[in-house]
Structure 1
Amino acid sequence: MDHEDNHRIDESEIKEIIEIDEDQAMHYASDDEDEASTSNAGGQAEIIDDSLMSLQAHSQDCFAVALASNRWLATGGEDDVAFLFDQNESESEPILKVEHKDSVTHVLFNNSETLLATGDIGGKIVITDIRTKKSRAEIDECNDLEWMKWHHTADILFAGDKDGILWMWLIGNKGIVQSKVYAGTGEPCTAGCLLPDGKRILTGYGNGVVRLWLLREETSTQLYFHSPITAIDHHISQPVAVVGTQSGTVNVISTASPDNILKKISLLPPPGVNSTTISTNGTAIGENGEEEEEEVGNCVESLSMAPSHPWFAAGRNDGTMCIYEMDSNAPRSIFQSNEMQAIVKVVWSMEGNAPYVTCGSIDGTIRIFDARDSSMVKELGNGGDEVLDLLVIGSNPHRILTAGSNGVVRVFDLN
């Protein structure tokens, strides 16, 4: 029986709520700073493909990509299939086709790179043994898959669904050995992140709740935010996590206590994005001062914590990408694209001693920033396709893999 310590924060627990002052000094970058123009004299957008190589993986949009051992490439698409490519055999012909019932939105290799999990939006999950190319398990228990994650060390798969359930399956040599259900309140389980200890998991829900689960005990504590949770990331080693919401707020929380979470700081979205502002409790306030239906214009789409610096990056639906310091009262930098289309993924990587942030956007562009001075190192065109997923697949040279809206997977070399 689940025991839950419902922990709603009061004012005494909040160290500070930060309202970003437009006059505060910060570096603000825009596309205008980049000398390379993406349009010609006639005003028509020029289609730019800066990729080193490309692969027509799917007949419709490619939603997800994953890479293992710089050999195995997995892709998932709108055409209801996932593919597995073996780069040692062919760069263009898949060695395996995994049939699904709906658009495949998640493809993930386990930690030992022996299993591939593919999940579709309807909730069907297929576990494939890479060596034998045969299905290890088919899971049809979820109702509309929201997210999926492998355990860091064990062959345990986690998933969240529309009914608010956190699922856990232990995969053995002949299929599912054990499964557990961590029930919510019926609100969708929209985000999840396993903690470094492998014994706890943070989950976010459509009603603004974030839960810290003790997996073995099957108990949880919770915080309440005033907007649906859209993204969660946890530091690779430190007891701190960041939580993004639909209203655009980013919240830093402490996971130092083994069985409790505490809110440390709440950052509002950058000002001037649209006419709707967010009050300190996360409620959308219109120009007339009245509460409105919540805007999704500055919804947090992606969060990523730097492994080597006390920084994190947030990509939003309005085309802004902010780099924050963990305990600062303002972003280190704000970038906003002219097109103001969603930043779908932000990824940290190191090039020598330089921390880079690579982000992919619906506007069909990959942008790489040097986080030390927030300068844009490079802007790359994705051949006119929206970037729907992105991986940094190597350093020195810095290589990037993207999934595109026309089913094309591209490889980019920063050098």
Structure 2
Amino acid sequence: MSASEQDHYEEEFDDAVDEEYLVESEVAEEEHDDENEDFMDDEEEGDQDEYGGFHGVREVEGDDSVMEIVDDSVQGFFDHKEPVYTVAMHPKENDIIVSGGGDDKSHIWRADTGEKLVTLEGHTDSVSSVAFSVSGEYVASGGMDGKVRVWKTNTGELCTQVDGPDEIIWMDWHPKGNVLLAGATDSTIWMWAMPSGKFMNIFNGHAAPVTAGQFTADGKHIVTVAEDATFIVWDPKSAVANVKLTGADGRFHSEPIICVSTDKESNLALTGSADGTAKLLNLHNGNIIASLENHSDSVESVSFCDVLPLAATGSVDGKVSVWDIQTHRVRHTLKHDDAVIKVQFASNSVNLVTCSADRTVRLWDTRSGECLKKWMGHQDAVLDFAISNNGDTVVTGSDDGTCLIFKA
């Protein structure tokens, strides 16, 4: 790439994530609130009694009979009929949900009523990732067909479809503008300006599927990990790898890295690996601050707490470890009855939500280690969840083909 081309890409990136642009787009969205009434109706928000769900026991049709299962959910969505791999909540209107799954479709629906608002079609293979833009104006779906499709949230109108990567594993929107990042099985990461779909950069540096990645909270860096046991911190403007760690370093991971998270201050990264360890890293210089070792199997998910120096790791061994990231010691060991699939702290809270192949979702107070809620209702592994801004609502997606809403 020539110097002039690089300057051009950097200018485009700055324009796409400019904060003044974001503010203007939010004002425009507010001016058109009347047009969004069908999708963004808040009148039905209220306490749990208004959700009209199935709290208690629900009948479920099996192959040969009807069985009853304990169901703590207050609402649900059942149109997928195939495994639901990914769910997301609208960043402002938390009752607006998008889910994607093995039916090759995404659906936008309401958490308070279970009503389907629109079906987003066009993929020819499973939808592996869905995500709302930072303002909520757009929603993206990424599929195992290698396609990324972006839609207007309030109408379901298709804005663009982009191709380029192989099977999409994950996506992430820039925290300050309409720039979308996607990682794929072909070892690449792609970045586009949305909703135009204009290509901005491709990131090459891994040699195996890019299992996880994200923009840092300040939007100045991209962090990715891969099955080749590499960790890379990128400059999003230039696609230059500023930091790279590999398995050749005996202190680092020796097996595929499954997950990564960064802290609110954009200074630290936490990686989880199939080798059963998590590594706490300085993302600016790549220094390995600590090796967090309390699991006997693959670490599948990691998360930082926004309000205390805590982090959580979840493993196939059924354990969730809560770590003090200042002393690097385990503060609590929490247990599921089967593999832990995802852990995530609620925003600006010490509460942690976890889901598992044991079919449950659990809410924990990480200060005391107490399990505040154990939610049941799914018939198979819970594959993904999203948490509302105030932390009182969790939406799940499961291998059983359903999405459920749970209230704290």
Per the normalisation by structure 1, the TM-score is 0.76
Matched pairs, number = 335
Q: Of 246, 249, 263, which residue of structure 2 is paired with 1:235?
A: 263
Q: Of 186, 202, 208, which residue of structure 2 is paired with 1:187?
A: 208
Q: Of 345, 349, 368, which residue of structure 2 is paired with 1:348?
A: 345
* Deviations 1:94-119 (CA, angstroms, capped at 9, x unpaired): 32332311111111000010111001
* Deviations 1:254-294 (CA, angstroms, capped at 9, x unpaired): 12x3xx32211112233xx4xxxxxxxxxxxxxxxxxxxxx
Indicate conservation of the 8 Å contact 2:100/2:127, yes or no: yes
Matched, 1:305 2:304: yes
* Deviations 1:168-197 (CA, angstroms, capped at 9, x unpaired): 11114xx22333111124322221121123
* Aligned-partner residue type, residue 140 of structure 1: D
- SS across alignment from 1:143: coil
Matched, 1:318 2:339: no
- Structure 1: distance between partners of 2:200 and 2:227: 24
Q: 1:138 to 1:58 in 2, by over 3 A?
A: same
* Aligned-partner residue type, residue 79 of structure 1: D
Report the equivalent of 2:30: none
Matched, 1:205 2:229: no
1:238-253 equivalences in 2 (<5 Å): 238-253=266-281
- SS across alignment from 2:117: coil
Q: 1:185 to 1:385 in 2, by over 3 A?
A: closer
- Structure 2: distance between partners of 1:320 and 1:149: 27
Give the deviation of 1:329 after TM superposition.
4.1
- Structure 2: distance between partners of 1:211 and 1:247: 18
- SS across alignment from 2:214: strand
Report the equivalent of 1:158: 181
* Deviations 1:37-84 (CA, angstroms, capped at 9, x unpaired): xxxxxxxx9832111122213111111111111242111011111112
Q: Sequence identity, in percent? A: 26
- Structure 2: distance between partners of 1:240 and 1:85: 35
* Aligned-partner residue type, residue 369 of structure 1: W
Q: 1:185 to 1:230 in 2, by over 3 A?
A: closer
- Structure 2: distance between partners of 1:387 and 1:335: 17
* Bigger fraction of residues in helix: 2
* Deviations 1:281-309 (CA, angstroms, capped at 9, x unpaired): xxxxxxxxxxxxxxxxx111111100000
- Structure 2: distance between partners of 1:363 and 1:95: 31
Q: 1:378 to 1:131 in 2, by over 3 A?
A: closer
- Structure 2: distance between partners of 1:327 and 1:109: 33
* Aligned-partner residue type, residue 148 of structure 2: I
Q: 1:64 to 1:248 in 2, by over 3 A?
A: same
* Aligned-partner residue type, residue 408 of structure 1: T
Indicate conservation of the 8 Å contact 1:314/1:321, yes or no: yes
Report the equivalent of 1:117: 140
Give the deviation of 1:253 after TM superposition.
0.5
- SS across alignment from 1:95: strand
1:279-290 equivalences in 2 (<5 Å): none
Matched, 1:138 2:161: yes
* Aligned-partner residue type, residue 223 of structure 2: L
Report the equivalent of 1:266: 291
- Structure 1: distance between partners of 2:383 and 2:111: 22
* Aligned-partner residue type, residue 200 of structure 1: H
Report the equivalent of 1:34: none
- Structure 2: distance between partners of 1:94 and 1:406: 22
Q: 1:132 to 1:238 in 2, by over 3 A?
A: closer
Report the equivalent of 1:292: none
* Aligned-partner residue type, residue 368 of structure 1: L
Q: 1:183 to 1:412 in 2, by over 3 A?
A: same
Aligned-residue Cα RMSD (Å) equals 2.2
Report the equivalent of 1:407: 401
Matched, 1:371 2:366: yes
- Structure 2: distance between partners of 1:138 and 1:363: 37
- SS across alignment from 1:376: strand
Gaps of 5+ in 1: 3-44, 274-297
* Aligned-partner residue type, residue 370 of structure 2: S
Indicate conservation of the 8 Å contact 2:138/2:152, yes or no: yes
* Aligned-partner residue type, residue 236 of structure 1: K
Matched, 1:49 2:71: yes
Matched, 1:388 2:346: no
- Structure 2: distance between partners of 1:242 and 1:180: 25
Q: Of 195, 220, 223, which residue of structure 1 is paired with 2:245?
A: 223
- Structure 2: distance between partners of 1:91 and 1:178: 36
Indicate conservation of the 8 Å contact 1:223/1:262, yes or no: no
Divergent runs of 4+, >4 A:
none
Q: Of 143, 148, 151, which residue of structure 2 is paired with 1:128?
A: 151
- Structure 2: distance between partners of 1:211 and 1:238: 14
* Aligned-partner residue type, residue 74 of structure 1: V
Matched, 1:105 2:110: no
- SS across alignment from 2:70: coil
Give the deviation of 1:153 after TM superposition.
0.9
